[in-house]
Each structure stands twice: as C-alpha cells, then as structure tokens.
Structure 1
Amino acid sequence: MDTTTNTRLRAAIGGHFLVDLYSPILPIILPALITNLNLSYLMAGIIVTVFNVTSSIIQPVSGLYSDRTKRSVSIPVCVLFSCLGISLAVLTSNYYIMLALVSGAAIGTALFHPAAMDSVYRLSPPHKRGFYNSIFTTSGSLSYSISPFIAGILITYFGLSSITWFAIPGIIGAAWIYGIEKRSPAITESISSKSESKPIVERKQFWWASAGLVVVLCSLRAWAYIGIITYLPTLLILGHYGMDTVTTSLIVTIMLLTGVGGQVAGGMLSDRFGRKRMLILGFVCAIPFFGMIFLTQGWAMYVGIFMYAFFASFCYVTSVTMVQELLPGSVGFASGLTLGLCMGMGGIGAAIIGWAADLMGSLPHAMFLLIIPTILCPILAVFIKYPEEKPISV
C-alpha cells in the first residue's frame, strides 16, 4: 500500500478507536444513575435504547447516501459529537436532557461507521477482506473494552461528574485526524477494483434474501450481547453479588477484550474456512457459555462471561463481511445495516429486558430470557444461502 492509503487507513482506524471509546460508558454509569435519579430498570434501559435506536436509524441512511453520492462525512466532526454527547450527559440531572445528549453522541457514531467501513472495504484485497475488517473493528473494540475500566476508576475515586474528562482524548484525537484529512487527499480508486475482476461471491437471485437473513441474525446476536453488556454491571453491583464499581468494570473490560480476540479469530478463520461455517460454529459455541453465566457461580461464571463474549464476537466480523459481499454495490448501506440497524435492535431488546425485570421483580431471570435469541441464531444460520469461496493461499 502507498503512503496515502496507509494514512487514510490510520485515520479510519484511529477514528474508530475514538468513537467507540464512549458508548460503553453508558452501562457503567447506569447503576449510579439508577441510584442518584431513582430510575427504574426500564428507564435505565431506555438510555441505552435511545443511543442504539438513534444510531440504527441514521446509519443505514447515511450508508445509502454515501453509496449513491460517494461523499463521506468528516471523521473529526463525528468524533466530537460522540465524545461531547456522552461526556456531558453526566452533568445533568434532567432525564430528557440526558437522552438528548446521548442521541447527539449516537448521531456522531452513526455518521462515522458506514463511511469508514466503506473506505476499509474499498482498500482491502478481496481475499483478505475478513482480516482487514477485523483490524478495523478491533480498533474500536479495544477502546470499547478499556473504556468501562477507566470509567469505573473515575467514578469510584472522583465521582460521576469526572466522566466529563473523557472528552479530552476525543477533542485531541479529532484535531489530529483533521490534520491528516487536510494533508491526505481522499482515495478515489480502490485496491479491490485493481485486484479483482469479479466479486469473490457470485450473487444470484437469492442475494437480498440471504443478506436479510444475516441482518436478522446480527440483530438477534446484538439483542443478547448488548443485553448482557448493559445489565451485567447493574447485576454485579446492585444484585446479590455486591461487587464494587472498579471490580465490576474490570470484569466488563476483560469480557470485552476477550470479545476482541473473538473478532480477530472470526475474521481470519472466515477467510480461511468460509464465512457460513464459521458463523454457525460461533453461534453454536456461544450457547453453553451463555448458560454458565446464570447457572453457575465463581470461576465458572467468569468463564461463561468471557467465553460467551469470545464466541458472540467471533460471529460479528463474519456476519458484517457476509452482508458486504452479498451487497457489493452498497457497502456503506450494508455496513449501516449491520453496525447500525442491528445494534438498534439490540438496544430495543435491552429496554425490553429492563421492562421484564421490573415486571418479574428479578433482573437475573429477565436477563436469562436472552438465551432465546442466542439459541435461534445457529438454527437460522443453517438456512442462509451463501456460496462459499475456496480458501485462497497467499
């Protein structure tokens, strides 16, 4: 790759790291918000739902616009929206102002992902598309993983309002990326177009149906995964475990870091052994570990948390790449569906679980209901019509 290409990729990867630094703060601050603002589980879940639904509505539209006009939004602006929206939300005691600020952060996230994913897709050699997608997603997943632990330390030792300090890396990073954009012209020709004479996946008349089914699977996966991430801190802090914020945030961070490993493994193995095979494998392996989270205690429970995150994330990059390859002329739209719409459905699921917890009077019992979408995923994945390419030696 030439210098300009590498520079643009660094901007996309750096932007993803910064944008995804902020949304995982929400589950960590939920226990404090529930206590300070006397929120119900439903109202707490709605905060996460507003973020995900706002993002889910805007991302596909933004991706479609990018596909049709070949114009992309400014990454620094997206980073600023994301960092300021979340960082300032903790300063208000007004629930509705908080929702508005969270929505602003969601807009920044929504505008960023489709354009950045389209850039990475165009610059990636087709036989290593899963690998490069995993590198891009890993950059965001790393910040997504370490953010809860940093937030937990800040809240424990400096109070909830100290979360505003999180705006500092976002502001500095936005200025750095702005300098890169000014110095480096946009890429107009993709590596993919130079290196492939035909799509790696031959699209037939079932392509839209197959892409739609993968999106459904992404939504079910997101429902379970986001539900666990959203309420696990509350379960560990306010539930019968009685853990402190730092310990809980460390558990969440290790969980998310394990998920990063799953993303990298899923992307690389799907390149080698086929997308559909690895998708089914990941979904099947996630089921027993999900059960261990709620049916065991001690180290077995921790193994369940971490390994569930690994296999749920194992499927993530694979499913994103599958939709992109099934919709090669609409990569931004495809990315908006998998990164936006699916996450929005997961956010709605989080609110439903909060409502169920209020109704049942038990957060653990309500969370265990998430095993239903977890079991449905591998069953539905079998019916995806997806022509597997032969592994390519490099």
Structure 2
Amino acid sequence: MNKRRLGLLTGTHAVNDLYQGLVPALLPFMVLERGYSYTAAAGLMLAATGLSSVVQPLFGLYADRHPRSWLVPTGFLVAALGVVLAGVSQSYLLTWIAIALCGLGIAAYHPPATVAARAAGGASQKAMSVFSVGGTIGASFAPVLAATVVGGGSLSRSYLLGLPALAMGVVWVVANAGGQRASVAAAAAARQAASHLLKPHNDWRAFGVLVATIVGWSIPYVTVLSMLSLRITRDLHGTAFQGAAALTAFTAFGAVGTLLGGWLGDRIGRMGTIRAGYLFALPAMAGLVLAPNAAWALACTALLGMCMFLPFAAQVTLAQDYLPRNPATASGITLGLALSVGGLVSPLFGMLSDARGLGVTLTTVLCVLCVATGLALRLRNRTVPVVPMVPVEEEAATA
C-alpha cells in the first residue's frame, strides 16, 4: 500500500465531495436571497446530480482509453469553479449552467480517482474504505462552510468557497512536481495500456447483477434519507431535534460502516462483508418500519446506516474486478449511474407517501431491499491481480 499516495487521493476526495455537498447547502440561501421557487431549486439539483450521474460513465470510458492523472485535479477545480460562479451569478440561467459545470467536474473526478485509489491501496479493502470516507467527511463540512461564508444574505462572498480547491490544487502540484515525475507517470500509463490485452476478460453478466444490486441499495438509501425526519416527527410524534439527530446518526454511522466494511473485507473477505451488510440491514430496516416511538426509530436508523455501508468499498473493488479492462467505467457506473437511480425514482415514492403514508412507503422500500439482498447473495467473487502503485521516487530511480 502506498500510504502517501492514498492519503493525497483521500484529501482530494474530501475536497471534491465538499463541492458536491455545497450545492444543496447553498440552495436555501439562494431561495431566500434571490426568491427562487422550490421548483427552481429542484431544477438546480437536477442540473448537479442528474447530469453528473449520466456523464460519469462517459468519463470512465475516457479514463480507461486515455489514462490522464490530470483529470483528478481538473475535476475538483472545475467543481469549485461551478460553485463559485453559481454564487455570484445573478440570472437563473447562468446559475443553472454553473451548477451543471460543477456536476461535470464532480463526474470527471470520480472514475480516475477511484482507480488510482485502488492502485494505491493494492489488494486492501480498508484502503478503498478510507478513500470513500474522505468524500463523506468533505460533504459533511459543506453546510457549515456554506453558512459561514454566505450566511446572512452574502452570496457575493461565494468566491471564498473556491479556496479549498485552490489549496488542494497546490498540494497536488507539489506532490506531483517535476518533469521527471511526469515522464515516469507517462511511461507507467503506457505500460498499463500495453498490458491491457493481458488482463482477464470483462464479466459483463456478473457486473450487471452487481449494478442491479446497487440500484436496489440506492432506492432505500435515498428514500430513508429524504423521509426519515418526517417519519419521526409526524408519524412517531418525535421532536424536530430527534428528526435531525436521526439524519445525523444515519450519515455518521454510514461512515463508520464504510470503515468497518473495509476492515472486515481484509479479514473475512469482501463477499462475506457484502452479504453481511445486506442481511443485517433487513432487520434494521424492518425495525424502522415497525418502530413504536422516536427513540426506537433512532436506534434502528443508526444500525441501518452502518449496515447499509458495510458493502460499499467491497462493491467498488468487486465492480473493478468484474471489468478489469475498464475499471474506470466500472467505477463511473457503480458510483454514478447506479447510485443515482434512487434519486430519480424518489418522486414516485413521494407520491406514494402522499397517497398512502410514510409507513407504506418504508414498507415498499423494505421489499426493494429484500430483492437487493437476494441479488447480493447471488454475487460471486472474482479476484484480479492489482497493479501496485509504485512510489514515483522509486520508479524514477530505476528508470
């Protein structure tokens, strides 16, 4: 494991997902200061998430055919530029275009960065979990940063939101400085391309089952995230604080589950980790559906967040091993398109909630999670040797 490289990539992931989290964090300020309607705000979210999820597999295809390390810093810098322009733009059209630009930057970052993190971590599942949690940490700071910089009707100060990306860009340049290093990296990319034909074939059928499994994971995740507070406050007569605490617990224990899943993956294997995550998530989700009070729902929510994220890192590496000739494409589809399905179908569950209530909706997504668990049990392991990330200094010395 190249810990130095992995640490650098984890830092870039935190910065990149900071801007992913800043988009929804800035929307309330835009609604208040610019008078946007809820429909207009939803349109901005569609520009950020919908476009990003669709084009992310395309960036994965490009990264597989033309490995370019500069896509990593370019991705989070473009995302930062989009957020800054959205904050200072006055017209809705320009704001929408800027938010779409942010989504493109986020989409460009994830496929090559995930492949680089896998190479830096070698065969370790824990390494991928650390990289994944870096993004969670970055996104968790977004609301605080947005409130600090633009709170009180100060969207004109949005240019300050670009400072984290600029700082990380400097760190990236310093860490990868030197013409010799650039030539070594180019030579390594050329060798990787030359060895392409030596890699095992892509198992698209198994990959399709994995994508369907992740889609079945995405729908309950997004639905719980969007309706959890309402479930606690309206149905279970909890306080607003308990509703907010449940959301925080769901996210925080999700990060814990990601790290725990990486640790377990290195010890019991990734297939055991994936199956355990889905199987343990079922009773946790059922407990949330049948919860008699807010305290019980809060406990089940924390357990659900941890269990649902146990398979996260293992699923990413398994996707890359199913498509060893297109690992960036595998990352783009699993982290982009498949995970976004939950958001795309969320309006349908909103209508179901209006018609039948939140209890019926949560019962429905429990059934979806049952289907995803059945698919997860059908998954089979596939191990493909990982090309280790050779430290640049060592490779330069042998060049």
Give the TM-score normalised by the residue count of structure 2. Answer: 0.77
Matching residue within 70, 75, 97 for 1:100:
97
Does the C-alpha gap of structure 1 residues 46 and 279 become closer, same or farther in structure 2, counting only changes over 3 Å? farther
Partner of 1:299: 295
Partner of 2:117: 120
The residue type equivalent to 1:282 in the other structure is G
Give the CA deviation at 1:13: 1.6
Does the C-alpha gap of structure 1 residues 303 and 88 become closer, same or farther in structure 2, counting only changes over 3 Å? farther
Q: Which moved more, 1:62-71 or 1:287-296?
A: 287-296
Distance 1:162 1:287 in 2: 46
Distance 1:93 1:300 in 2: 46
Does the C-alpha gap of structure 1 residues 266 and 65 become closer, same or farther in structure 2, counting only changes over 3 Å? same
Give the CA deviation at 1:56: 2.0
Q: Answer yes or no: is the 8 Å Cα contact 1:145–1:257 preserved in 2.
A: no
Q: Answer yes or no: is the 8 Å Cα contact 1:33–1:39 preserved in 2.
A: no
Distance 2:360 2:188 in 1: 52
Matching residue within 43, 47, 51 for 2:48:
51
Give the CA deviation at 1:177: 2.4
Q: Comparing both chains, which one has the higher relative contact order based on Cα–Cα distances under 8 Å and sequence gaps of 6 or more?
A: 1
Partner of 2:377: 382
Give the CA deviation at 1:213: 0.7
For the pair 1:334 / 2:334, whether they are aligned, the reply is no
Partner of 2:139: 144
Partner of 2:38: 39
Matching residue within 330, 335, 339 for 1:343:
339
Alignment gaps of 5+ in structure 2? 193-197, 385-399
Q: Answer yes or no: is the 8 Å Cα contact 1:76–1:175 preserved in 2.
A: no
Distance 1:281 1:72 in 2: 35
Deviations 1:335-383 (A, max 9, x none): 11111111222321334334545x5385675465432322211111122
Does the C-alpha gap of structure 1 residues 75 and 204 become closer, same or farther in structure 2, counting only changes over 3 Å? closer
Does the C-alpha gap of structure 1 residues 66 and 156 become closer, same or farther in structure 2, counting only changes over 3 Å? closer
Q: Answer yes or no: is the 8 Å Cα contact 1:78–1:109 preserved in 2.
A: yes
Q: Answer yes or no: is the 8 Å Cα contact 2:73–2:109 preserved in 1.
A: no
Matching residue within 309, 316, 323 for 1:313:
309
Matching residue within 101, 107, 112 for 1:110:
107
Does the C-alpha gap of structure 1 residues 370 and 147 become closer, same or farther in structure 2, counting only changes over 3 Å? farther
The residue type equivalent to 1:329 in the other structure is R
For the pair 1:260 / 2:255, whether they are aligned, the reply is yes
Partner of 1:134: 129
For the pair 1:81 / 2:92, whether they are aligned, the reply is no
Does the C-alpha gap of structure 1 residues 63 and 168 become closer, same or farther in structure 2, counting only changes over 3 Å? same
Give the CA deviation at 1:236: 7.2
Give the CA deviation at 1:147: 3.2
Does the C-alpha gap of structure 1 residues 134 and 217 become closer, same or farther in structure 2, counting only changes over 3 Å? same
The residue type equivalent to 1:39 in the other structure is Y
Matching residue within 203, 219, 227 for 2:223:
227
Give the CA deviation at 1:182: 3.2
Distance 2:372 2:48 in 1: 24
Partner of 2:176: 181
Q: Answer yes or no: is the 8 Å Cα contact 2:111–2:328 preserved in 1.
A: yes
Distance 2:335 2:287 in 1: 28
For the pair 1:370 / 2:377, whether they are aligned, the reply is no
Partner of 2:212: 216
Q: Answer yes or no: is the 8 Å Cα contact 1:29–1:160 preserved in 2.
A: no
Give the CA deviation at 1:144: 2.5
Q: Answer yes or no: is the 8 Å Cα contact 1:17–1:142 preserved in 2.
A: yes
Partner of 2:276: 281
Alignment gaps of 5+ in structure 1? 194-198, 390-394
Distance 2:239 2:19 in 1: 26
Distance 2:375 2:357 in 1: 30
Give the TM-score normalised by the residue count of structure 1. Answer: 0.77
Give the CA deviation at 1:23: 2.3
Distance 1:162 1:253 in 2: 30
The residue type equivalent to 2:110 in the other structure is H
SS of corresponding position for 1:20: helix
The residue type equivalent to 1:181 in the other structure is N
Give the CA deviation at 1:305: 2.1
The residue type equivalent to 2:72 in the other structure is I
Q: Answer yes or no: is the 8 Å Cα contact 1:274–1:388 preserved in 2.
A: no
Partner of 2:388: none
Distance 1:8 1:38 in 2: 44
The residue type equivalent to 2:38 in the other structure is L
Deviations 1:81-131 (A, max 9, x none): 2234345546668665544333222111111111111112223333x2x12
Question: Highest CA radius of gyration, 1 or 2?
Answer: 2
Deviations 1:42-79 (A, max 9, x none): x7655444433322222211112111222244333211
Distance 2:279 2:374 in 1: 9
Distance 2:50 2:59 in 1: 14
The residue type equivalent to 2:60 in the other structure is G
